Amino acid sequence: MTCRVTQNTKGLEDLLARIVEVGTNVDAAAARAVVAGGDVLLEGMLEHVPVGEAGKGDPHPGQLKHSLRRTETNQNGNYTYIYVGLAPEATADVARYGNAQEYGYGRGGKQYAPQSYIRAGTDEKKNAARRALLDSLKKDGMASG
């Protein structure tokens, strides 16, 4: 299971149409908007990600935190999006560790509770991310509202 979320412009068609009316490049405005929102989501994940300590037996302290990223924008037709979370180039070991931290795991008959960083960070920052996305669109030509 992949540890990342998507930030996109879905549901903002009216706002994007308004940007077209005022003569702004919609693709560029949408790209700036999803990046603004995605950066807020990444901030939330970074605040919650568990960081182990080398002296306490963690084989990769800090690698999970350093593997959290925001992609560049992608586009599929009029749909603009980015991914935020565990980088695709993260090692398999870090990806397994990230999933174990996010969802919990069992070892040797013992269960270890999740230490959510993707869901916790996203839940905590979703309103601020949406606000950053909307503020970016407004800056690119939207009237107040």
pLDDT tens, residue by residue, 101-110: 999 999 889 9
Q: Is the dihedral of CA 132, 83, 120, 15 positive or negative?
A: positive
Number of C-beta neighbours around residue 50 at 10 A: 15
In whole angstroms, give the CA distance from residue 106 to residue 51. Answer: 19
Task: Tell me what the mean pLDDT of segment 111-135 comes to.
Answer: 94
Task: Tell me what the mean pLDDT of segment 82-96 comes to.
Answer: 92
- What mean pLDDT, rounded, does the chain reach? 85
Share of the chain above pLDDT 70, in %: 84
138 is written with which tokens? 């407004």
The 3-class secondary structure across the chain, one letter per residue, is: CCCEEEEECCCCHHHHHHHHHCCCCHHHHHHHHHHHHHHHHHHHHHHHCCCCCHHHCCCCCCHHHHCEEECCCEEECCEEEEEEEECCCCCHHHHHHHHHHHHCEEECCEEECCCCCHHHHHHHHHHHHHHHHHHHHHHCCCCCC
Residue 114: band (very low, low, confident or very high) from pLDDT cuts 50, 70, 90: very high
Task: Tell me the pairing of strands 4-8 and 79-86.
Answer: antiparallel
Residue 100 has pLDDT above 80, yes or no: yes
Say whether pTM exceeds 0.85.
Answer: no
What pLDDT score was predicted for residue 10?
A: 73
Residue 2 has pLDDT above 80, yes or no: no
Task: Tell me what the mean pLDDT of segment 130-145 comes to.
Answer: 79
Selection from 52, 83, 77 nearest residue 65 by Cα? 52
